[in-house]
Amino acid sequence: MGKTEQLTLSAGPETEALVNFIFKELSDQLVDQIDLKRVTPATGGVAREFITTGALLTLAPALALPVFRLIERWMETNRQREAVNVIYQASKQDKELMKTLAELEKRHSDLMIKYAGRVGSFQQRNKA
Amino acid sequence: MPAKSHVDFCLFVQILEVEEDRIPPELVAAIQSRNPAEIARTLDSLPTLRNIVDDQTNLHESIHIVQGVIYRFLRWYSLAAFQYVSDTFKQMDELTAAAQSVNATSLHSPIFSLLDMEWHIYDMSKRFLFWKYKPALGISITDQVPKGVKAKPLITLNTIDLIENAASLLQYKISTGNDFPTWIEFSRWAKRNPAYTRILEFVRDYLGDGNVAVRIFLDLVQVAFDTNRPVQAFAILLAAFKYNYDKGYLDPILAQRGHCRWIEIFDHYAGKMPLEKPEYGNLLSKRFFRIESDLGLRLGGKMTHPILGHFVTKWEKLEANDIAYRYAFGAPNGYSKHISEISELFHAPITLLKLTNEEQNFVSVIGNLRNTGVADADIDGTEITDIHLKGVLVGFMMMFGVVRRLVGALMDPDFRFCHHIDCPFYAQNYCNMWLFIPKKYDDCGFPRRFTELRGEWFGRPGTSSEFVLVVGNGPNATADFQERMGWAKLSN
């Protein structure tokens, strides 16, 4: 299945710890199926220790839920100081997944999930 | 976002920031005493720095010290840039007066911004229908393609991007013991560890094969850094490789397992680059040239690079006597014997530990000051005492801190050692490399030492004719640089 979904994560200074946790928990096979791009601030002309302020995961729809489950596990085992923000850009509307994510948000007050469709996908079609 | 551990490419002082929760109780007690001798004793008693600094961070930053020694461009840049620091320090009064006379809000120097100057690489291959009959890359520091030129943008990158991506791949090889990873193996590691991969991914996409990208990347970058324009050389060498790779000329070499000495291949391609006569005195030279291994450049005719000089001299001799050293960092595990003989390269001559406890900072210096260029300086046969050595190095660091703050380059703008926010000098942050943080800011020695050093500092006689400082804003600096570098079309 193609990598059609995009998941943008940020957890303040603990973003890298969250990304690390997700990819260390996933099997090699699943890791290979997810593209990762880290967002880093400008270095100011020095070679600086890696700072991750955000992460963009591109993955197949079937992998979205396992990743959300890992985010939940990380939040349960880590007392992170900053809220975890997730923007999930789906290629098509999945009511079951939306319901699960809403429940997830309810259980964790410091987790904010924005469920959005890509431009030209279900959101626009819904409007029509 | 707070500044973190880093290395600058001019003075090559390694700065490690220690997170408060990693400082062991015995060290906390020492820090609270603010007694430097006590803190140094406690640090020495710790079994290893591993207890207080993340292993991978330490390794990654140490690799930058290695790069500073083995990459000819960095050897040349760091020495020449330090000379410019010295010139700027000498000319500070004139520069600030000039800036004030035109109400400039900041000063910019293309020299100090050289490493993070963005370059744009374009695909300028000629095509006929679907047939690509003349592969070519173009490079520019502007994103505007000249009129009448057909070019497809491929990537925007700077010199530090190349350094960081190479450091991440070398870090992978050292930490996993695997010199010849597949793309998948490297990619898994890079997802599970913070790593720079953007340029590696570009090479993978350009060649259409990730396995080849990770095989050649370190050697490709190392040879690109044999020139005064690493990004331009990187594009030329990559295009040359791509041409030969697509034609199948490299198949017999690619079929071999193990280390293929890609450096020899890239050296061969580099020999065909449009090289000109070196102009070592000018970091902004319009010429494109190869940098010799042993430049023999000395500051004031007496001193190599103040920090890296000792290692550089050693490395140049080793490399001249045994070519294997040139190949060693492409396959660090296979060349472990060579690497172990120069393992001291991984230990920066000067590391500054920034220790924070209860919102108070303390800076501790670790390393072997005798492994510096200052210690090796030839001062008419006079032996440099330890006290003199410390004094000179502290002065150089202070001077570097003042100048980089003045020109707003070679530093993370958030970086500072001091915690005294009420100090009148705090906001200006010219003291960003002043190591002695007192209990009360009224007792700080920075203003006095700064005035003394300004009075003592002679620098080079006269005004450096090569020194260019652009007064104005960023776009002006870029325009000046653009005028110097121009647009270059590269083809193989």
Asked if the structure places residue B61 within a domain, the reply is yes
Domain hosting residue A117, numbered range: 5-127
pLDDT of residue B459: 64
pLDDT (tens digit per residue) in B264-319: 999 999 999 999 999 998 888 989 999 988 777 777 778 889 999 999 999 999 99
Asked if the structure places residue B170 within a domain, the reply is yes
Judging by beta carbons within 10 Å of its beta carbon (0-12, 13-18, 19+), is residue B337 exposed, middle or buried?
exposed
Kindly state whether residues B142 and B65 are assigned to the same domain: no
Asked if the structure places residue B51 within a domain, the reply is yes
pLDDT of residue B300: 75
Kindly state whether residues B93 and B136 are assigned to the same domain: no
Kindly state whether residues B122 and B173 are assigned to the same domain: yes
Kindly state whether residues B151 and B294 are assigned to the same domain: yes
Between B316 and B204, residue with greater pLDDT: B204
The whole-angstrom distance between A12's CA and the closest CA on chain B is: 9
Give the residue on A whose Cα is nearest the Cα of B197: A37
**A34: which chain B residues are within 8 Å (Cβ-Cβ)?**
191
A39-43, B72-76, B253-257, B420-424, range with the lowest pLDDT: A39-43
Kindly state whether residues B138 and B87 are assigned to the same domain: no
pLDDT grade for A55, boundaries at 50, 70 and 90: very high
Cβ of B6 within 8 Å of Cβ of A47? The answer is yes
Q: Tell me the C-alpha distance between B315 and B287, whole Å.
A: 27
B300, B335, B352 — which closes off a domain?
Answer: B300
Percent pLDDT > 90 in chain B is 51
Mutation target among A48, A53, A78 for the B interface, most CBs of B within 10 A: A48
Between A49 and B300, residue with greater pLDDT: A49
Q: How far is CA B443 from CA B438, B440, B446, in A?
A: 6, 6, 9
Kindly state whether residues B81 and B50 are assigned to the same domain: yes
Q: Tell me the C-alpha distance between B166 and B329, whole Å.
A: 10
Cβ of B116 within 8 Å of Cβ of A32? The answer is no
Asked if the structure places residue B466 within a domain, the reply is no
Residue B60 pLDDT greater than 80, yes or no: yes
**B412: which chain A residues are within 8 Å (Cβ-Cβ)?**
43-44, 46, 48
Between B285 and B225, residue with greater pLDDT: B225
pLDDT of residue B287: 93
Q: Which residues contact B486 (CB under 8 A, 6 or more apart)?
A: B286
Asked if the structure places residue B332 within a domain, the reply is no
Cβ of A48 within 8 Å of Cβ of B187? The answer is no
pLDDT grade for B409, boundaries at 50, 70 and 90: confident
How many Cβ atoms sit within 10 Å of the Cβ of residue B12? 27
Domains identified in chain A, total number: 1
Domain hosting residue B190, numbered range: 115-300
**Residue contacts between A and B (CB atoms, under 8 Å):** 81
Asked if the structure places residue B469 within a domain, the reply is no
pLDDT grade for B331, boundaries at 50, 70 and 90: very high
The CATH number of residue A66's host domain is 3.30.70
Residue B491 pLDDT greater than 50, yes or no: no
Kindly state whether residues B156 and B287 are assigned to the same domain: yes
Domains identified in chain B, total number: 2
How many Cβ atoms sit within 10 Å of the Cβ of residue B6? 22
Asked if the structure places residue B336 within a domain, the reply is no
pLDDT grade for B129, boundaries at 50, 70 and 90: low
B47-56, B189-198, B216-225, B262-271, range with the lowest pLDDT: B47-56
pLDDT (tens digit per residue) in A91-110: 888 888 888 889 988 998 88
Pick A23's closest partner by Cβ from B9, B192, B409. Answer: B192
Average pLDDT over residues B337-344: 86
Average pLDDT over residues A31-58: 92
**B163: which chain A residues are within 8 Å (Cβ-Cβ)?**
47
pLDDT grade for B484, boundaries at 50, 70 and 90: very low
Cβ of A49 within 8 Å of Cβ of B4? The answer is yes
**pTM, to two decimals:** 0.90
Average pLDDT over residues B354-381: 88
Asked if the structure places residue B485 within a domain, the reply is no
Cβ of A50 within 8 Å of Cβ of B64? The answer is no
Helix pair angle (B92-101, B386-407), 10° resolution: 10
Kindly state whether residues B414 and B284 are assigned to the same domain: no
